[in-house]
Amino acid sequence: MFNPFKRKVSPLTDKTRKQLLALPNVNGVYFGDMTKGGESRGQGLVVTVTKKLPETELQVRGIVPKSLNGFPIDVIEVGEIRLLGVDRTAEYRPFPMGVSVGHKDITAGTAGVKVKIDGDTQSEYLLSNNHVLANINKAKKGDKILQPGPYDGGNEDKVVGEVVKYIPIKFTGCSISSFLVRLLNSIAKLFGSCTNFECKNNTLKTSRVNLVDCAIAKLTPGIATPDIVELGTINGIGSVNVGEEVWKSGRSTQVKSGTVKTTNYTTQVDMGEGKLAVFTDQILISGEGFSAGGDSGSAIVVKTNQYDGLKLVGLLFAGSETVTIANKINNVFDALDIHL
């Protein structure tokens, strides 16, 4: 009687591998020993999945079969498989998205998305934040962009492009007063005083509200690739819904996932040097550790499936220890007249 457990010849073919890897949640397959509770159950096909789920939570077409071509199949959970030990602060040529980059006069941010300008089919451009590529409105057209960013060792020998366009950030409120208030409160606290100074003229003007913190740099031909480190390829843009899981790959915290809390967030952001800016129509993402300083400019994406790639939905620009804020990508693309 035929016993598949004793057969030594692997039943895996290119067709079989493709068939199994096409299933949602499946990230690997091999032919070998099958074990349960530390004991061998003979040989068979072993399918690895990101997470074991009850069949009731899977569509019929997504269920791993019990056997294939007469061989039993065992399913084991291994988590998400990704590259390990990628140094996001190193120099890469060509460089991928998700690594250190920056204007010559800043510290460092993240390379976001490789794009093209509407009407220009020849040149390639890099999308990131205004405060990463344009030094918060201080850049001039033609200023050098470095990879890695200056903080990570970028210098005049690391030039990968030049600034061509940014959307100016508009500041609001009593920015100078706010700086002085914080300074006075720090001094009062230092001397043990309970006095708390406040800014009484911090008014919001509609004309000073921002939608985006974005800029583009023209790249040296062939110096960058469109793939995002440890995430993959962007195949389209779109919107995102409340409760949806999103991902980013950034210079500082690498690959992290978070949950969308709202897509209509208005917030006041401390831009440094006593400057405040109000941003509206933003994506608010929850998830402790989702981002940190240096992740600014990262692409916010939604995973579709293994073969469709990633959907680009936002551009990370600010956050705290517990939340992250991103521009809606449609607002960014419209403001800069760009496309993938």
Q: What is the pLDDT of residues 37-71, one digit of tens each?
A: 777 778 888 889 888 877 776 666 678 888 887 88
pTM of the model: 0.70
* DSSP symbols for 208-263: GEES---EEEEEPTTSEEEEETTTB-EEEE----TT-EEEEEETTTEEEEEEEEEE
Please give the share of the chain, as a percent, with pLDDT higher than 70: 83
Q: Where are the domains of the chain?
A: 4-77, 95-171+202-339
Count other C-beta atoms under 10 Å from residue 143's C-beta: 18
Instruction: Give the tens place of pLDDT for each residue, 79-111.
Output: 776 545 689 999 999 999 999 999 999 999 999
Q: Which of 307, 215, 302 is nearest to 260 (CA)?
A: 302
Q: Which of 228, 227, 251, 255 is nearest to 81 (CA)?
A: 255
**What CATH topology corresponds to 95-171+202-339?**
Thrombin, subunit H (2.40.10)
Q: What is the Rg, in whole angstroms, of the alpha carbon atoms belonging to the chain? A: 25
Return phi, psi of residue 335, to 5°: -65, -40
d(CA 50, CA 116): 35
Count other C-beta atoms under 10 Å from residue 125's C-beta: 21
Distance set, CA 210 to CA 229, 280, 327 (Å): 29, 6, 10
336: enclosing H helix or E strand: helix 329-336
What per-residue confidence (pLDDT) applies to 2?
Answer: 39
**pLDDT band at residue 255, thresholds of 50, 70 and 90?**
very high
Q: Which residue has the tokens 């071509």?
A: 69
Q: Which residue has the tokens 């480190």?
A: 229
**Mean pLDDT over residues 195-206, rounded?**
52
**Mean pLDDT over residues 298-305, rounded?**
91
What per-residue confidence (pLDDT) applies to 114?
Answer: 97
165 close to 218: Cβ distance less than 8 angstroms: no
Q: Which residue has the tokens 């200023």?
A: 143
CA 63 to chain centre: 30
Mean residue pLDDT of the chain comes to: 86
- CB-count burial class (<10 Å; 0-12, 13-18, 19+) for 300: buried
d(CA 112, CA 224): 11
149-158, 201-210, 253-262: segment of lowest average pLDDT: 201-210
Say if residue 305's pLDDT is above 80: no
β-pairing verdict for 39-49 and 26-36: antiparallel
Distance set, CA 113 to CA 37, 109, 217, 254 (Å): 46, 13, 11, 15
